[in-house]
Amino acid sequence: MNSQFPELVPRLESYATIKTWRERHGRYRMQGSRCKKCNEIWFPSRDALICPKCQSREFIPYECARTGEVLTVQHEIMGYPAMGYGELSPRKIVMIKLDDGVTIISEVVDCAAEEVKPGTKVKMAFRKHKREENGCWMYGYKFVLNK
């Protein structure tokens, strides 16, 4: 902790610049992949892997839908108050079925906990996630209510 970065930066995961760079399209634009053979959509991207449905190795980039519907909600009341996230508690961790059929797990922000329940319509938003070990903020997608 120092005056420039007042919040604590715990080591919750190892930082890998190369991995972060390779996953940037998925984290910033929700880009997955589509199998060329069977047209199945996968998120996160399955580049250099095998399609579980048809065993093909050919994928093309696919931008997932930006809107969807909440399937399940989990309220996380144990946040990180030492990192300055205490005012964001409880976090709303949700499973979302996007309009194109992809199911993801994310967080709903900028609303009260009572407003998020199964069936709620949400849309993607670009938000801060955490501090990297070098002090920079890592950004990515979260969801907000689609009013």
In a domain, 20, yes or no: yes
Residue 7 is predicted with a pLDDT of: 53
Which residue, 30, 18, 106, is CA-closest to 61?
30
* Pair 36, 69 in one domain: no
**Helices marked H in the chain:** 17-22, 24-29
In a domain, 2, yes or no: no
Q: Which residues, other chains included, contact 37 with Cβ-Cβ below 8 Å and sequence gap of 6+?
A: 51, 54, 56, 58
Q: Which residues form the domain of 18?
A: 14-64
How far, in Å, CA of 5 to CA of 7, rounded? 6
In a domain, 6, yes or no: no
Contact 99, 67 (CB under 8 A): yes
In a domain, 1, yes or no: no
* Pair 25, 55 in one domain: yes
Which residue, 56, 57, 29, 58, is CA-closest to 43?
29
In a domain, 4, yes or no: no
* Pair 78, 129 in one domain: yes
Residue by residue, pLDDT tens for the chain (147 residues) are: 445 555 554 444 555 666 666 777 777 788 999 999 999 999 888 877 899 899 999 999 999 999 999 999 998 876 555 454 555 667 899 999 999 999 999 999 999 889 999 999 999 998 887 777 677 787 889 999 998
